[in-house]
Amino acid sequence: MNRSKPNLILAGLLATAINAGIAHAAGAADQITVNDAYIRQAPPGAMATGAFMVIRNAGPDEVRVVKAASTVSRFTELHTHLNEGGVMKMRQVKDIPVPPGGEAVLKPGGLHVMLIEMRLSLREGDMVPITLGLDDGSSKVISVPVRNPSSSAGSMGGMVGHKH
Amino acid sequence: MMPFRTLTSALVAAMSIALSTPAASADADPLRAAVAALGNINGRALACGHTEVVSRAKAIVIARVAKTRELGEAFEQATSAAFLAQGQQKTACPPRAVLAVELEVAARPLNPPNAHQLAATPETPEVGINPRYLLQAANGRAVMDGDFKDRFQLITFGYTYCPDICPTTLLEMAAVLKQLGDDAAKVQALFISVDPERDTLALLRTYTEFFDARILGATGSPELVKRAADNFKVRYERVIDPRLNPAHYAVDHSAGMYLLSPGGQFLTKFPYGKPVGEIVARLREEIARRAPADGAPMQGVAK
């Protein structure tokens, strides 16, 4: 495997994503910024992996993320984990609310965008477009880097909390 | 990939041969035979879930059997063989009381108990965890709780299709090993799959190596996995999403890590999300506590 060769499929997707990003519909999407997004590189053979990020809402009204889409997986869903007496149960959620002037934190063990039934094996450094659909019908396309969890393990803990 | 069931039968057959041979040839040595008899009862008690008998057998061995490699192996081998044989038999388990009596009879030829040692023997778990397991490691060998006499065991349960919790836990486990530095050699990290239908040994190996090659993957027949999970009070349950390929089910399971002492006593459970630093601190504390008085200086521990 040639690791340095860019993944052509993803490069194509990325170009689409950039175009889509420029042309995204106005609305709640304009109030939303997404920081610190990454997809955790899945171990070989894994069926699914998670995308994590911090979604901020600069506007005066609550914005709810109601869906997510990506071309790299057959299903792309909003999920969370419930800890029931030490048993972690992953469940789909219907939306992720982002309070006005606040943020929603998607992180391992909690809320996340689930990429299920991967169509291709992601490598570190790949950029994957993910579209977040919002409750007013507008959408936000973000380009999310794939990170090797081992190389990013050290920064993962600090990353979420260190923003002011 | 080779179906796990086929592999299991082959391995179990191979293990039975490997395990029964040395035990049979050891009968010439009465002490070794007595220890093997204890192991046999221990294995059956383990397979039948008679945890008090297992604890008692362990206490007897600790207090009354010389700590030699040969006797230790005789005990473990007899345990494994009896455990497997009992598991394969369709006959009912002997009642606990019967095994308890057999155990006391079998212990008679051994040295009389040293009262001081017996009192000092740590009794098994305060929280009802009986950390016994007998599984197959990803390297193809049998692996059981008693295998790591000189090492702590840091154990987590999960499955390789697990999208988030297991990778997070294994990343933390890898971070613990990394932060322990040289002391990591005193810890065996284990990932036990509760999904043996999908997790072949080969898959387990590539999976754990992705995080840290020192993490040993293990699983077994559904029955052995169930037994191990029950002993650790781990719960797991398949969750099938009707929209997805039915082979892509998820498994709800107890998260967190279990720490066993060298020799396999349950020490503590770290709940999911316990900071890596705290796990490392606890491990260093345990390692320091067990360090020989004339052993390595402790400066490294405080670092």
Report DSSP letters for B115-129, one per residue. Answer: HHHHHHSPPS-TTS-
Name which of A88, A93, A147 to mutate to probe chain B: the one with the most chain B Cβ atoms within 10 A of its Cβ: A88
* Exposed / middle / buried, residue B258 (Cβ in 10 Å: 0-12, 13-18, 19+): buried
Q: In this structure, what are the phi and psi dihedrals at residue B294, rounded to the nearest 5 degrees?
A: -95, 15
- Please report the pLDDT score of residue B29 as a whole number: 79
Interface contact flag, B252 A87, Cβ < 8 Å: yes
Q: Which two tokens stand for residue B176?
A: 């613990």
- The percentage of residues in chain A with a pLDDT greater than 70, rounded to a whole number, is 76
**A38 at B interface, C-beta within 8 A:** no
Interface contact flag, A89 B203, Cβ < 8 Å: no
- Please report the pLDDT score of residue B116 as a whole number: 40
State yes or no: pLDDT of A95 exceeds 70: yes
- The ipTM estimated for the assembled molecules is 0.70
Interface contact flag, B164 A109, Cβ < 8 Å: yes
Residues of A in contact with B212 (CB under 8 A): 150
User: Residue B127 region, left (φ>0) first, then alpha (ψ -120 to 50), else beta?
Assistant: alpha
Distance CA B73, CA B147 (A): 9
Confidence of residue A26 (pLDDT cuts 50, 70, 90): low
Q: Are B54 and B45 in contact (CB under 8 A)?
A: yes
Query: pLDDT per residue over A59-83, tens digit each?
Result: 999 999 999 999 999 999 999 988 8
- Please report the pLDDT score of residue B293 as a whole number: 57
Q: Is the pTM of this model over 0.80?
A: no
- The percentage of residues in chain A with a pLDDT greater than 90, rounded to a whole number, is 54
**A3 at B interface, C-beta within 8 A:** no
Confidence of residue A137 (pLDDT cuts 50, 70, 90): very high
Query: pLDDT per residue over A28-42, tens digit each?
Result: 899 999 999 999 998
Polymer length of chain A:
164
Ranges of chain B with pLDDT below 50: 1-8, 10-26, 113-126, 295-303
- The percentage of residues in chain B with a pLDDT greater than 90, rounded to a whole number, is 45
Mean pLDDT of A127-143: 95
DSSP A7: -
Q: Which two tokens stand for residue B184?
A: 């990591």
Interface contact flag, A50 B160, Cβ < 8 Å: no
Long-range contacts of A57-61 (CB under 8 A, 24+ apart): A57/A31, A57/A32, A57/A98, A57/A99, A57/A100, A57/A101, A57/A102, A57/A103, A58/A31, A58/A32, A58/A33, A58/A101, A59/A28, A59/A30, A59/A31, A59/A100, A59/A101, A60/A100, A60/A101, A61/A28, A61/A31, A61/A100
Distance CA B152, CA B260 (A): 6
**A43 at B interface, C-beta within 8 A:** yes
Chain centroid to Cα A135, Å, comes to 17
- Smallest Cβ–Cβ distance between B161 and the set A46, A83, A88 belongs to A46
Q: Which two tokens stand for residue B190?
A: 């284990």
Closest residue of chain B to A87, computed from CA coordinates? B254
Closest residue of chain B to A80, computed from CA coordinates? B164
Confidence of residue A118 (pLDDT cuts 50, 70, 90): confident
